[in-house]
Amino acid sequence: MTQSFETDQLPGEGALPLVIRPADRKHSSRKDLMKLVQAERGWLEEKLLEHGGILFRGYDLDSPKDFEKVASSILPELKPYVEGQSPRTKVRGNVYTSTEYPKQLRVTMHSELSYSKEPPRKLLFFCQTEAETGGETPISDCRLVYERMPEALRDKFERLGVRYVKNMPGNEKGLGKSWMDHYETKDPKKVERYLVENEMTWSWLPGGSLRTESNRPAVRLHPVTKEKVWYNQANLWHVSNFEESRRKTLLQLCGEEGLPTHCYFGDGSKMSDEELDVVRSVLWDTAVVFPWRQGDLLVLDNILCLHGRMPFDGPRKVLVAMG
């Protein structure tokens, strides 16, 4: 029996991601991809652990509905984007736009919801419309990042962890996403239950704003492979992530205590700009960048793999689901 798919690597890249293509046009439909996922589930799980990411390319996926169906065949449950800070729109079910961050800006490398108590295990991206130029989703292996991080800095992060601080407005006119958008509810009691369950502290501020704090590990063990991985968003949350003029404006408007997001080491001590610059350098030095093609489906082990987004021109529509 002829195999319905073939495996490949991207030109000039290493093990990340593994590329899977239909063997021929007869095996390129959405249903063919779903059959592949069902028939080869164990093998695909092994390959995802080995490579960190799998790119399904050449299959006939055109719409959010197609993506949702395939995503649901890969994940037992698509989870809502609760607690997430990226600006996103729910497209259908628990399928979202990947980010609505301004197109001229680069989104730095990060592991999805690594600041939450229970981050999603898998992250799925679908390219419905590729950008005219740019708009890639760079990815990087968290194991490699851990290995290449300077030892003294890595040990400091591993020993102390990260304290994440977030200020969320109580309406749509404040800086950043409102707490209602973060937690997908307008009920403060539901929010408080979530915060208790996820070991976060909080305070309600004048005007209905919400401030939360949480201590999370900066390094984790993968639950299956037991490998150590770099797993935090300090580089993204820290105010030094912004270019100088925006950073000054934010500090003038909010002060450090009122920043939409900021972070410290787990003992409350400050992270230096220089330390975060080193972290960002390692993340980008290990990044794999490849152009999207319409219909691409990228599956990432969210514990093993970081991702970001490059600036772009023209229309771009990349959707995301997680679980």
- Domain-wise residue ranges, the chain: 5-138+288-322, 144-283
The C-alpha atoms of residue 46 and residue 132 are separated, in whole angstroms, by 35
**Total number of residues shown for the chain:** 323
**pLDDT > 80? residue 2:** no
Q: What is the pLDDT of residue 1?
A: 42
Res. 12 pLDDT band, cuts 50 70 90: low
Domain 144-283 superfamily per CATH: Clavaminate synthase-like (3.60.130.10)
For the chain, what is the radius of gyration of the CA atoms?
20
Which residue carries 């989703």 as its tokens? 137
Average pLDDT over residues 258-265: 96
Average pLDDT over residues 172-181: 83
Domain 5-138+288-322 coded CATH 3.60.130.10: yes
Angle (nearest 5°) at CA 263 between 156 and 112: 90
Average pLDDT over residues 120-142: 97
The C-alpha atoms of residue 189 and residue 302 are separated, in whole angstroms, by 30
In whole numbers, what is the pLDDT of the chain averaged over residues? 94
With H, G, I as helix, E, B as strand and everything else as coil, classify residue 39: helix
- Element spanning 154, H or E: helix 151-160
The C-alpha atoms of residue 107 and residue 320 are separated, in whole angstroms, by 15
Give the CA distances from residue 82 to residues 32, 76, 87, 90, 246, in Å, rounded to whole numbers and listed in that order. Answer: 32, 18, 12, 12, 27
Query: Which tokens sit at 319?
Result: 């959707």
Closest CA to 304 of 164, 114, 152, 83: 114
Average pLDDT over residues 107-125: 95
Average pLDDT over residues 57-81: 95
Q: What is the pLDDT of residue 223?
A: 97
Res. 172 pLDDT band, cuts 50 70 90: low
5-138+288-322 and 144-283: identical CATH topology: yes
Q: What is the pLDDT of residue 11?
A: 78
pTM of the entire predicted model: 0.93
Beta-ladder partners of 22: 5
The C-alpha atoms of residue 119 and residue 112 are separated, in whole angstroms, by 7
Beta-ladder partners of 305: 141
pLDDT in tens, 244-255: 999 999 999 999
